[in-house]
Amino acid sequence: MRAPVQNKNRIPIRMTQDRRWTFPLTATFWAAASLTGMALLSGCAADKAPEAKASSGWVKDQVADAYTFGFPLVVSDIARERASGNAGQPGRAPLNTFRHATALPPVGATGWPTVDTLDSTAWLDVSAEPVIVSLPAAPRGRYLDARAFDAWTNALYSSADTTPYPKAQLIAFVPAGWTGTVPANATRVETRTRYVWLSVRVRVNGPRDVREARKLQTAMRIDTATPANGAATDAGATPAVVTGAWPGNSSGQSPAVPALATAPPTASPGAQAEALDANAFFARLARALDANPPATADTPAMNRLASLGVKPGEPVQFKKTDAPLLDSGVADARTRLATVPANAITKNGWTWFGDGVGVYGTDYILRAYLARHQIATTTKNGELKPVAHLDSEGHALNGANQYVLHFAPNQLPPVRGFWTLIAYTKDGALADDKLARIALSDRDRLKKNRDGSIDVVVSAEAPGKARASNWLPAPDGEFQLTMRLYAPKPQASDGTWAPPAIERQ
C-alpha cells in the first residue's frame, strides 16, 4: 500500500447508490470450506515448446501446473459474475455498488457464515480511472475491517493489518501506472487487474446490535470520476456483462465462456470453478486473463499456458486427442486442491495459515488452495482462521460427545481486535436447532478455574448450570470447530500460540 498522494485538487466524482439485501453475504459470495490439503507445485518455471505434447507424463504435469496457477482467477471471475449479473435478483448489484447484509445469518445458513459481523461487499471496475471508497470512522470499541483483493485474490489493502478500530478512510483504487491525481487525503492503492473485490466488515454483538452497525453501512460510499467501462452507476441501471478487453489490449473481444451448468447455483465459486471440465475452465481463464493480467514474476507460468494454447482474450481450442491428457492433468490439480499445503501451521489438531497468505508471490499452491477453500483470505495481520475436525485422539468431532478446550491462564486467543469460536456442521452450516448461543467470543463472561485457566465445553447437550457460561453448543452428528482471530497478534500468526487440544470427556 502506498502513502497517500498529497494533492488539494480533488477529481470530480459521481456517487453511486447503495443496494441492501437481507441475507448473509459471506455465505453467498465467499463460502469457506474445511481444510483438507495439497502437494507442492513442481516444474512451473520451466518453459516447454508446444511440440512437447508428445510426452504424456510431462503434458499432464503441465496441465496440472497451469490449472493450479489459473484457478484463483477463474474463481474470482465466477464470483464477480454471480455478484454483479442480473442486479434485480437478491444479493446482486451493479459494479461499483455496495451490497449490504442487513441481518445476521439465520440458523441453518450454509457456507461457513460469520455470525459476528455485518458484511458489505462490492466489485469495483478500475478500468481507466480511480474508484474512490469512503468509509466512516469506527465508534469507540466497534471493530471495522476493510479489505480488498485483486482478481487473482492477492490482498491489496487491509485496514485491520494496522488499525482494527480505524478512523474515517478514503481509499482510491487506481489502475497500475495511472498518472492522474486522487483526493489529497486518500490512500492510493494500485491494481494490475481491472476488477477489485472489496469487503467491509462491522462487528455485531448479537441481533439487537444490528441497528447500530447498520448506521455505519449507510455512511459507506463508492464514487467514480466517470462511469467506468461497463459499469452501471445507478441502482436502476442494467449491470454490465464484461466482454471487452482491458484498455490497451488490441484483441477487442474476449472469447465466449460456457454457462455455469456443472455445479449447483448455490455452490461456492470455488466449487463451481472446480466442477468445470478442462475446456470450460481454460476458456474462462483465457477470457479473464484479457482484463486481469498477472504479475511479471508469473511470466514462466504464462508461457506454459501459451504452450497449451491458452492465451489472453483468444479462443481456446484443444485437439480431441488431447482430452485424456487434459482430464488427467485436471484430476491431478484437483487432488492438489484437496491437500493442505506444506506451509500450513498445524498444532493440537488445528490448522491455519500465517506467512505468505494474501501476498503469495509465486506460491501458486497456497493461493489456489485458499481460493478453493477460504477465498478472500487476507494477510496474517488481518485475520487467522484455525479449523479443527478431529479430537485429540484423532476421532471426528461429534455432537453426541462432550469435549473440553482447556485454555491455560492468559492463553485465550491473542488479538488486537476480537476472537470468536463456532461449531458448524461438517458441511459448513449453522446448527438448525434453537440454541442458547451460536458462538463464543471475547465478550462472553467465561468462568475461570481457581488457577485462572478456562475450560470451554463443546457438546450438543447442555453440560449443566455450573458450566453453562462456558458452553459452546454443537450440532448433532459430526461437526467442525472454527476459530476466527480478527487482527491477531504475532504469536498467533507464527504458531507460537495455538488453540488447545480438543479433549473428549
Residue 362 predicted with pLDDT over 70? yes
Comparison of pLDDT for 458 and 90, the residue scoring more: 458
Q: What is the mean pLDDT of the chain?
A: 83
Comparison of pLDDT for 31 and 62, the residue scoring more: 62
Query: Which DSSP string do the residues of 88-124 spell out, in sequence order?
Result: TSTT---TT--EEE-SPPPTT--S---SSEEEEEEEE
Share of the chain above pLDDT 90, in %: 65
Residue 246 predicted with pLDDT over 50? no
| Residue entry with cell 497500475 | 176
Residue 20 predicted with pLDDT over 60? no
Q: Is 385 left (phi over 0), alpha (psi -120 to 50) or beta?
A: beta
Question: What's the CATH number of domain 14-30+89-224, 2.60.40, 1.10.10, 3.40.50, 1.10.3120?
Answer: 2.60.40
The per-residue pLDDT for 358 is: 93
Average of pLDDT values for 98-112?
Answer: 87
Comparison of pLDDT for 141 and 254, the residue scoring more: 141
Residue 310 predicted with pLDDT over 90? yes
Residue 434: band (very low, low, confident or very high) from pLDDT cuts 50, 70, 90: low
Residue 3: band (very low, low, confident or very high) from pLDDT cuts 50, 70, 90: very low
* Amino acid letter, 117: T
The per-residue pLDDT for 437 is: 83
| 114's grid cell | 460469520
Residue 34 predicted with pLDDT over 90? no
Lowest mean pLDDT: which of 29-33, 64-68, 304-308?
A: 29-33
Comparison of pLDDT for 316 and 434, the residue scoring more: 316
The per-residue pLDDT for 72 is: 98
The per-residue pLDDT for 431 is: 82
Interior/surface letters 337-362, b for 16+ CB within 10 angstroms, e for the rest: beebbeebbeeebbbbbbebbbebee
Which segment, 8-12, 23-27, 53-57, is predicted with the most confidence on average? 53-57
The per-residue pLDDT for 480 is: 96
Residue 123 predicted with pLDDT over 70? yes
Residues 6+ apart with CB under 8 A from 382: 145, 147, 155, 158, 160, 161, 358, 486, 487
As separate numbers, helices (DSSP H) first and strands (DSSP E) second, the chain gives 9, 22
Average of pLDDT values for 6-25?
Answer: 39
The per-residue pLDDT for 241 is: 29
Residue 214 predicted with pLDDT over 90? yes
User: Angle of helix 364-373 relative to helix 323-336, nearest 10 degrees?
Assistant: 80
The per-residue pLDDT for 208 is: 87
Residues 6+ apart with CB under 8 A from 468: 436, 462
Q: How far is CA 366 from CA 37, 63, 230, in A?
A: 10, 18, 32
Q: H/E element holding 407?
A: strand 403-407
Residue 77: band (very low, low, confident or very high) from pLDDT cuts 50, 70, 90: very high
Q: What is the pTM of this model?
A: 0.82
- Count of C-beta atoms within a 10 Å radius of residue 479: 24
Q: Rounded to 10 degrees, what is the CA torsion of 423, 427, 428, 432?
A: -70
Q: What is the pLDDT of residues 144-157, one digit of tens each?
A: 999 999 999 999 99
Q: What is the pLDDT of residues 161-170, one digit of tens each?
A: 989 999 999 9
Architecture of 386-504 per CATH?
A: Sandwich (2.60)
The per-residue pLDDT for 105 is: 87
* Amino acid letter, 472: L
What's the rounded Cα separation, in Å, for the pair 194 and 73?
Answer: 12
The per-residue pLDDT for 107 is: 81
Instruction: Tell me if 430 sits within 8 A of 107, measured CB to CB.
Output: yes
| 397's grid cell | 468431532
At residue 335, φ and ψ (nearest 5 deg) are: -65, -40
Residue 228 predicted with pLDDT over 60? no
Residue 473 predicted with pLDDT over 90? yes
Share of the chain above pLDDT 70, in %: 78
Task: Name the nearest CA neighbour of 172 among 379, 359, 3, 383.
Answer: 3
Residue 230 predicted with pLDDT over 80? no
Q: What is the pLDDT of residues 380-395, one digit of tens each?
A: 999 999 999 999 999 9
What's the rounded Cα separation, in Å, for the pair 66 and 69?
Answer: 5
β-bridge pairing 454-459 and 403-407:
antiparallel
Q: Do domains 14-30+89-224 and 386-504 have the same CATH topology?
A: no
So where are the chain's domains? 14-30+89-224, 386-504
